[in-house]
Amino acid sequence: MGAIVEYYNILGIDKTASPFEIKKAYRKKAKQYHPDLNPGKNTADHFIRIKRAYDTLLDPVKRENYDDAMCYTSNRSGRKKERSKQDNYNENAGKKHNKQEDIDESFVSDRTQLISFSLAGEEYAFKIFDVKSITGYDSLTPPANSNNIIEGMVQFRGEDLPVIDLAKNFGFAGAANPGKKSIVIVEIKQIKVGFIIDSVPQVLNLSKEMIFDLPDIPTGKSCRYTQVGKIGERIIIILDLHRVFSPLTLAMLKEI
């Protein structure tokens, strides 16, 4: 099992931080690392970690479970005292936040966030919380057992993970882009796997009005996606992570 990420350090806050302090730290980090606010910089991977830390620490139940896992239980008494003080501040000075801060928080929090990438000339995306990490690569370690699905193995936080060419898995063999490629690391039913894609991924923020549900799939048929996003004339196919592989392929990956 990989090491647990230190969420308080990611946001730059104390372990007794109140919800108000967590939101304030998140706004600051989001402005600094959100790819849409920092064009030309490769910040997507770090922004994923920031968003995951924010959602964990802002939710009381998730935060308590996280603190237990990290043995931070001794900080709870101090946190209650600090939260009481901070609640008073929220009621008074907290109301003075300017409108621009509210707009910025809405921009990074109130939309569906996607990791988009190109594949055989089409644009696809995963929802941001399905993605563990994004990395480039020069070469892969050959798998111990040769098969037609796995391209090789890659090291991720101390683990050797199988890597699959997503274009080949979708039946797009021969249409792969020979240019810049990346690996998107995801987790499906507790199985971590890397996907080779044809581009450096981007983070997209889509409002509800920009995402469309597809008609129900007839019984007995399968489909890798049930939603698409639309930005003007641009269509983004939103993949359902749990539909990408067949049960047989998942069983094989679990054995590996």
Position with higher pLDDT, 47 vs 175: 47
Domain final residue pick, 91, 109, 127: 109
Lowest mean pLDDT among 13-27, 51-65, 76-90: 76-90
Kindly state whether residues 118 and 229 are assigned to the same domain. yes
- How many domains, the chain? 2
Position 29 in a domain: yes
Task: Specify whether 151 is located in the same domain as 243.
Answer: yes
> Which residues have CB under 8 Å from 100's CB, separation 6+?
none
Same domain (yes/no): 71, 184: no
Q: What Rg, from alpha-carbon coordinates, does the chain have?
A: 21
Residue 119 has what pLDDT? Answer: 82
* Whole-number average pLDDT of the chain: 75
Containing structural domain, residue 76: 7-109
Q: Are residues 80 and 159 in the same domain?
A: no
- The CATH number for 92's domain is 1.10.287.110
Same domain, 39 and 96: yes
159 and 105 within one domain: no
- How far apart, in whole angstroms, are the C-alpha atoms of residue 108 and residue 116? 16
For residue 1, tell me if it sits in a domain.
no
45-49, 162-166, 175-179 — which is least confidently predicted? 175-179
- Grade residue 47 by pLDDT with cuts at 50, 70 and 90: confident
Give the end of a domain, one of 74, 109, 144.
Answer: 109
80 and 154 housed in the same domain:
no
Q: Could you tell me which of 161, 193, 166, 163 has the C-alpha nearest to residue 177?
A: 166
Are both 133 and 236 inside the same structural domain?
Answer: yes
Closest residue by Cα to residue 245 from 222, 211, 220: 222
Among residues 88, 109, 130, the one where a domain terminates is 109
Q: In the predicted model, is pLDDT for residue 72 greater than 80? A: no
At 108-117, the pLDDT tens digits run 445 788 888 8
Shared domain for 117 and 81, answered yes or no, is: no
Residues 117 and 105 in one domain: no
Q: Sort strands 234-239 and 122-127 into parallel, antiparallel or unpaired.
A: parallel
**What pLDDT digit, counting tens, does each position of 185-231 carry?**
988 888 888 888 877 788 888 888 889 887 765 544 457 888 899 98
- Tens-place pLDDT, residues 6-38: 899 999 998 888 888 898 899 888 888 877 777
84-138 per-position pLDDT tens digit: 544 554 444 444 444 444 444 444 445 788 888 888 888 999 988 888 888 877 7
Q: Are residues 58 and 154 in the same domain?
A: no
pLDDT for residue 76: 54
Q: Taking 70 as the threshold, does the pLDDT of residue 60 lie above it?
A: yes
Note whether 121 and 237 are same-domain residues: yes
> Do residues 22 and 86 touch, judged by C-beta distance below 8 A?
no
Length of the chain (residues): 256
